A and B are shown apart, each in its own frame.
Chain A
Amino acid sequence: MRIGVITFPGSLDDVDAARAVRLAGAEPVALWHGDHDLKDVDAVVLPGGFSYGDYLRAGAIAARSPLMADVVAAAHGGLPVLGICNGFQVLCEAGLLPGALTRNSHLHFRNRDQGLLVERADTAWTTSFQQGQQIVVPVKNGEGRYVAADADLDRLEGEGRVVVRYVGGNPNGSSRDIAGVTSADGRVVGLMPHPEHAVEALTGPSVDGLGFFTSVLTAMVAA
Chain B
Amino acid sequence: MSQVVVDVVLKPEISDPQGQAVLGALGRLGHTGVRSVRQGKHFVLEVDGEPDEAELRQIAETLLANPVIEDVELHLPARTTD
Please list the residues of chain A having a beta carbon within 8 angstroms of any beta carbon in chain B.
56-57, 60, 64, 92-93, 98-100, 102-107, 147-150, 173
Contacts and interface: CB of A to CB of B under 8 A. Distances in A.
A36 B27 CA distance: 52
A103 B66 contact: no
17 contacts: A56-B63, A64-B63, A93-B66, A98-B68, A99-B68, A100-B66, A100-B69, A102-B10, A103-B17, A104-B17, A106-B17, A107-B17, A107-B21, A147-B14, A147-B69, A149-B68, A173-B17
Interface of B: 10, 13-15, 17-18, 21, 63-64, 66, 68-69
Given A56-B64, A60-B63, A150-B13, A102 B21 contact: no
Contacts of B10: 102
Contacts of A149: 13, 68
A64 to B, nearest CB: 7
B50 to A, nearest CB: 26
Nearest to A105: B17
A103 B66 CA distance: 14
Contacts of B68: 92, 98-100, 147-149
Given A107-B21, A147-B69, A148-B68, A102 B63 contact: no
A170 B24 CA distance: 23
A60 B64 CA distance: 9
Nearest to B14: A147
B71 to A, nearest CB: 12
Nearest to B67: A100
A208 B40 CA distance: 39
Contacts of A105: 15, 17
Contacts of B64: 56
Given A100-B66, A147-B14, 9 more contacts: A100-B69, A102-B10, A105-B15, A106-B17, A107-B17, A147-B68, A149-B68, A150-B13, A173-B17
A135 B15 CA distance: 29
Nearest to B43: A56
A103 B18 contact: yes
A60 to B, nearest CB: 7
A184 B63 CA distance: 24
Contacts of B66: 57, 60, 93, 100
Contacts of A148: 68
A113 B40 CA distance: 32
Contacts of A107: 17-18, 21
A173 B13 CA distance: 15
B20 to A, nearest CB: 9
Nearest to A104: B17
A158 to B, nearest CB: 18
